Amino acid sequence: MNVSPMTEAPLFGQRIAGVSVPPCDGGEILKRMSPANPSRLVARFGVATHKQIDEAVAAARRVQPEWAARHPAQRAEVLIRAARLLEQRRAELVNWEVAESGMLRSLAEMHAGWCVDVLDFYAGLARALSGRSVPLGSSKLGMVIPEPYEVVVALGPWNFPLSELIWKLAPALAAGCSVISKPSELTPVTSLIFDEVLIEAGVPPGLTSVLVGGREVGAALIQKPDVGLVSLTGGRATGQAVLTATAQNLTPTIMELGGKSPIIVLPDADAIQVAEIIGNAVAYRTGQQCICPSRVMVIGNDRRRKKIAEAIHGQLSSLTMGDPDSTDTTLGPVISTDHANALRQVISDASKRSIRVLGGETVEGAFVHPAIFLADDKTDPTVTEELFGPYTAVQAFADVESAIKSANRTRYGLAAGIICGGDTNGAIDIARKLRAGSVWIDDYGTIELELPFGGVGDSGFGRELGMEGLESFVRWKSIHLNHGSAT
């Protein structure tokens, strides 16, 4: 493949059983425009056909038993080689992440390095996945052993196209699964390139495939009877659609969905520290991340709330909006002009409800200025709904308990934060009471490979990363051995 987004927009097909398959004659072609420059065509993609979906599933089912039968060290060696090969193609992958998704070049560089780390991490854990034995008296022994799901479907998002996909692929391959990837139709190129990397690293042709297309392709794929597990990163509505589709065959699912993540600011927290932590997190990926801290809960009076809000606004106002390819840019575009228009409508609607807005100045195209909503109503949409942009709502609470109750009074439960001002013991107590899969104290949004990540409620179920992320791709079998004397 090895084509550049800087030249004339290339045409991509599918990756099936280790081969790049060109688009079918007369088939549907998707076009991807640059988020930073909506008039610029970045790439074109053929849509996977039903025949190609069947071919990918059949190949995965056929090849997987041999892969699962390999010694874990052999699977680990392949992942290690993939990590080294990914490093060699890092510049190419970064270019595509910037061109397709509008990700800042500095962020794309960081995530490319992180993808290498994920592969190395699960290469190590491949050799650590084990069962256990359970003595059951003098003549009986129980054994619990892990068995991989045969065919896994990985449904990836557009905000972090490659890294979120590798979160799924690396542990699944380490566990002994086959994987068919269906990346977002907005950002599929890095997934196609990574499949080339896997084949070159020694993954058996057929063990992995990449299918490109919209919801119709994903729906057709996950309803195949041979699919044993579906892993999705996406929004709440997509999660509901996937569950409806997988219910037909009772296919297990892992879901990392959206969030409306709160940060509780305790009375002694320094306003400058608060602004740095929250401002950086809100601006990260232009707010297009499921853990964006979009609810700031200030313990104190309205004067304290305004001080914190203005400090965050000052931090966000220092950002430089512009071309994501420029090293001077610190705030890039959102994924599309349509999404930017939806975000601009949020500000317009909030103003009609007489909500004070800091920032949010109008700008053209797929760019939006960060905004802070000073909403008093605890049920206002800026407080309850995931907006998926560089927006946050700041509210005041009389005490910690009322803030905790409000933080937990949501259908989401992916992430939360606490800025404690030195009260670490109090912060730990609060963290235990928050209904969230991850809680940060005096920090926010750092992802550690060693720790599991996932949510509760409408933020999904199942876990990625950590040993738990590896165990998500296996089923546990109990074996009962009677080794007593025959009678």
- How far apart are the C-alpha atoms of 388 and 465, rounded to whole Å? 23
Task: Say which of 164, 177, 260, 290 is annotated catalytic.
Answer: 290
Indicate the residue type of 471.
E
Helices (H) and strands (E) in the chain, counts: 15, 21
For the chain, the farthest-separated pair of C-alpha atoms sits apart, in whole angstroms, at: 85
Are the CB atoms for 179 and 154 separated by under 8 Å? yes
Q: Is 361 a catalytic residue?
A: no
- How far apart are the C-alpha atoms of 97 and 94, rounded to whole Å? 5
User: Pick from 211, 178, 115, 227: which is nearest to 465 by CA?
Assistant: 115
Are the CB atoms for 142 and 478 separated by under 8 Å? yes
Which DSSP symbol is given to 387?
-
- How far apart are the C-alpha atoms of 259 and 416, rounded to whole Å? 10
Give me the residue label for tokens 């990837």.
181
Structure tokens given for 373: 């909503």
Ranges of H-type helices in 89-235:
90-101, 105-126, 161-175, 189-201, 215-222
Task: Say which of 55, 92, 256, 386 is annotated catalytic.
Answer: 256
Cβ contacts of 65-70, under 8 Å, gap ≥ 24: 65/150, 66/204, 67/173, 67/176, 67/178, 67/203, 67/204, 67/207, 68/147, 68/148, 68/150, 68/176, 68/177, 70/176
Three-state DSSP class for residue 160 = coil
- How far apart are the C-alpha atoms of 313 and 392, rounded to whole Å? 10
Q: Is 290 a catalytic residue?
A: yes
Q: How far apart are the first and last CA of the chain?
A: 66
Non-local (6+) Cβ contacts of 55 within 8 A are 16, 17
Structure tokens given for 51: 């025949």
Q: Is 401 a catalytic residue?
A: no
Three-state DSSP class for residue 486 = coil
Non-local (6+) Cβ contacts of 433 within 8 A are 404, 408
Task: Say which of 168, 182, 224, 260 is annotated catalytic.
Answer: 168
- How far apart are the C-alpha atoms of 192 and 196, rounded to whole Å? 7
Three-state DSSP class for residue 216 = helix
Give me the residue label for tokens 């409800």.
353
Structure tokens given for 369: 């200025």
Three-state DSSP class for residue 112 = helix
Task: Say which of 55, 97, 150, 464 is annotated catalytic.
Answer: 464
Q: Is 168 a catalytic residue?
A: yes
Are the CB atoms for 185 and 218 separated by under 8 Å? no
- What residues are labeled active site? 168, 256, 290, 464
